[in-house]
Amino acid sequence: MMNKEQYLASLRKLKPVIYCNGRKIESVVDDPMTRPHVNSAAMTYELAHDPEYNDLVVATSSLTGREINRFTHLHQSTDDLVKKVKMLRMIGQKTGTCFQRCVGLDALNATYIVTHKVDKECGTSYHERFVKYMQEVQEQDLMIAGSMTDVKGDRSKKPGQQADPDLFVHIVERRDDGIVVRGAKAHQTGMVNSHEMLILPTTNLGPEDKDYAVACAIPVDAPGVVHIFGRQTNDGRRLQGDIDTGNAEYAIVGGETLTVLNDVFVPWERVFMCGEYQYAQEYVETFAAYHRQNYGGCKVGVADVIIGATAAMAEYNGVPNVSHIKDKLIEMIHLAETMYNCSIACSAEGHKTEAGSYYVDTLLANTVKLNCTRFMYEISRLAHDIAGGFIATLPYEADYKAPETRPYIEKYFAANPRIPTEHRIRMARLLENMTGGTALAESMHGAGSPQAMRVMLYRETNLEHKKKLARKLAKIEQ
Ligand code: SF4
Ligand code: FE
């Protein structure tokens, strides 16, 4: 298992093409725009070597029997699924943001299940090929970007009906030695500081969309791959200072890209689906359920920090014991623990798949993420309510540091006499960072937009059974 330094060294060896704000990023490890995201992902490597978290972050490989990082593990029990959630909450508490590596973990687990099924029903040999790849991932402790979301073009049209055929990633050539793919993937969390991306389909497909049914692994710096780094709320502050950034070490959310695949060659050993369109929907749903499971882990870790910062702000403002503030903090705790409950439940109710690995309860996993699309907003709203307008009108860090203005800021932003003004400012900036803009939009759309969960809830629930229960008590004959 790599440690933090080895992970950073491994990233230095890669040469991905990344554009950001009109320039090229030469080193993701050193560039101030990407470094915080690297730090956050590095936590998944660092903690694997911390004896305190060994039980959560280290697992035993089902393929080799060796110790591996849980972020490369194929879940072997419901206990593994529960540990995943606990691990994500714990890391969220330490970073206060997204640490990105779960998307790849979920894509790997989904691919393991789906390739097994495709092989069984179609006589292909993707699973064996994937298991070999999986061993490579485990042995080298790779960070994989799970690359599902296509750019999608006109949302009313299927891939093949689009005016531009490249709006969904597709196979443009089948060769003796592999395939060539073209298209683009959007919202690619952790892409710039991953080693490889695992491409999978984004939607259900019909026979006319065979070429869009493609899954494969591609190094982030393969010829033809271009990344365009996404802008986040207040990200320019990273270039200016430390206090104003709020969470300078780890930034907000995952550092997403638009990743363009310009006729990228993929050798057969790394192709895990090639035309089996009938399995695209199941593939998407399996990946999505695993990823929706996570949000009651990582987002609750983030919520723990928001709740802590809010309680601290109440204290810094001098009002920790006012009853309405306590009530609001209780509400925040209730919301956070409810998200966590759902994650634990969908894990504990998981089951063994035909491939031998474990999969979450899909219905419950979808409740997790749907709750997040509301609860993270409500938690943030309550945080703003308690912290006060201070978090929206604070002066610049530069003015706080300038001799002409610092005494005024010190004097007029003092509140609780036991708390230095700088602490109050720092805590307010942390809250501003964690509860606004990009961070909230990620809680809404990460792992799928809310409508996708509603569709799944309707499909997965047994309404006929519920109607029968009601008819029986109402004494209504069928
Ligand atoms: Fe992992 Fe959460 Fe980030 Fe998704 S949003 S990659 S689950 S930390
Ligand atoms: Fe996410």
Residue with the smallest CA separation from ligand 1 atom 3 is 98
- Is 288 near ligand 1, meaning CB less than 6 Å away? no
* Best probe residue, ligand 1, of 103, 194, 438 (max atoms within 8 Å of C-beta): 103
Retrieve residue 138's tokens: 């485990």
Atom of ligand 1 nearest to the CA of 97: 8
Q: Is the pLDDT of residue 118 over 90?
A: yes
Alpha carbon distance 256, 415 (integer Å):
38
Q: What is the pLDDT of residue 5?
A: 98
Alpha carbon distance 1, 58 (integer Å):
9
- Surrounding residues of ion ligand 2, Cβ less than 5 A: 446
Alpha carbon distance 305, 444 (integer Å):
19
Residue 173 three-state SS: strand
The ligand whose atoms approach the alpha carbon of 101 most closely is 1
CA distances from 146 to 103, 154, 161, 472 (A): 5, 23, 25, 46
* Best probe residue, ligand 1, of 109, 291, 294, 443 (max atoms within 8 Å of C-beta): 294
Query: Look-up: residue for tokens 């994650």?
Result: 343
Alpha carbon distance 357, 347 (integer Å):
13
Options 20, 298, 342, 372, the catalytic residue: 298
Number of H helices, E strands in the chain: 16, 14
Atom of ligand 1 nearest to the CA of 254: 3
Catalytic status, residue 276: no
Burial 172-204 (b: 16+ CB within 10 A, else e): beeeeebbbbbbbbbbbbbbbbbbbbbbbbbbb
Atom of ligand 1 nearest to the CA of 291: 7
Q: What is the pLDDT of residue 478?
A: 72
Catalytic status, residue 102: yes
- Is 193 near ligand 1, meaning CB less than 6 Å away? no
Q: What is the pLDDT of residues 179-214, one digit of tens each?
A: 999 999 999 999 999 999 999 999 999 999 999 999
Q: Give the residues across from 185 on adjacent strands.
A: 150, 259
Task: Tell me the mean pLDDT in the region 107-118.
Answer: 98
Q: What is the pLDDT of residue 129?
A: 98
Q: What is the pLDDT of residue 182?
A: 98
Query: Cβ(243)–Cβ(428) under 8 Å?
Result: no
Q: What is the pLDDT of residues 398-449, one digit of tens each?
A: 999 999 999 999 999 999 999 999 999 999 999 999 999 899 999 999 999 9
Retrieve residue 1's tokens: 């298992």
Q: Vertex 300, ends 86 and 85: CA angle to 5°?
A: 20
What φ, ψ does residue 226 adopt, rounded to 5°? -130, 130
Share of the chain above pLDDT 70, in %: 100
Atom of ligand 1 nearest to the CA of 88: 8
- Is 294 near ligand 1, meaning CB less than 6 Å away? yes
The ligand whose atoms approach the alpha carbon of 104 most closely is 1
Please report, as a single letter, which amino acid is at residue 465.
H
Query: Cβ(164)–Cβ(73) under 8 Å?
Result: no
Alpha carbon distance 419, 410 (integer Å):
11
> Which distant-in-sequence residues (6+ apart) come within 8 Å of 35 by Cβ?
28, 29
Q: What is the pLDDT of residue 251?
A: 83
Ligand 1 center to 27 CA (angstroms): 23
Q: Is the pLDDT of residue 463 over 80?
A: yes
Helix or strand run (H / E) with residue 184? strand 178-185
Options 46, 196, 256, 397, the catalytic residue: 256
Helix or strand run (H / E) with residue 359? strand 358-359
Question: Using CA atoms in the order 419, 425, 427, 432, what is the torsion angle rounded to 10 degrees?
Answer: 160
Alpha carbon distance 184, 54 (integer Å):
37
> Which distant-in-sequence residues (6+ apart) come within 8 Å of 77 by Cβ?
358
Ligand 1 center to 299 CA (angstroms): 8
Please report, as a single letter, which amino acid is at residue 40.
S
Closest CA to 251 of 9, 438, 46, 3: 438
Ligand 2 center to 355 CA (angstroms): 26
The ligand whose atoms approach the alpha carbon of 88 most closely is 1
* Best probe residue, ligand 1, of 91, 95, 105, 298 (max atoms within 8 Å of C-beta): 298
Question: Using CA atoms in the order 221, 26, 445, 276, what is the torsion angle rounded to 10 degrees?
Answer: -10
CB atoms under 10 Å from CB of 35, counted, come to 22
Catalytic status, residue 349: no
Q: What is the pLDDT of residue 241?
A: 84
Q: What is the pLDDT of residue 252?
A: 84
Residue with the smallest CA separation from ligand 1 atom 7 is 294
Please list the alpha-helical segments (H only) found in 73-152: 78-95, 102-122, 126-140
Residue with the smallest CA separation from ligand 1 atom 2 is 298
Q: What is the pLDDT of residue 253?
A: 87
Alpha carbon distance 45, 6 (integer Å):
9
Which CATH number, 1.10.357.20, 1.10.10.10, 1.20.140.10, 3.40.50.1010, labels domain 283-474? 1.20.140.10
Retrieve residue 97's tokens: 């943001």
Query: Cβ(227)–Cβ(31) under 8 Å?
Result: no
Work out the mean pLDDT of the chain and round it to a whole number.
Answer: 97
Q: What is the pLDDT of residues 240-270, one digit of tens each?
A: 889 999 999 998 889 999 999 999 999 999 9
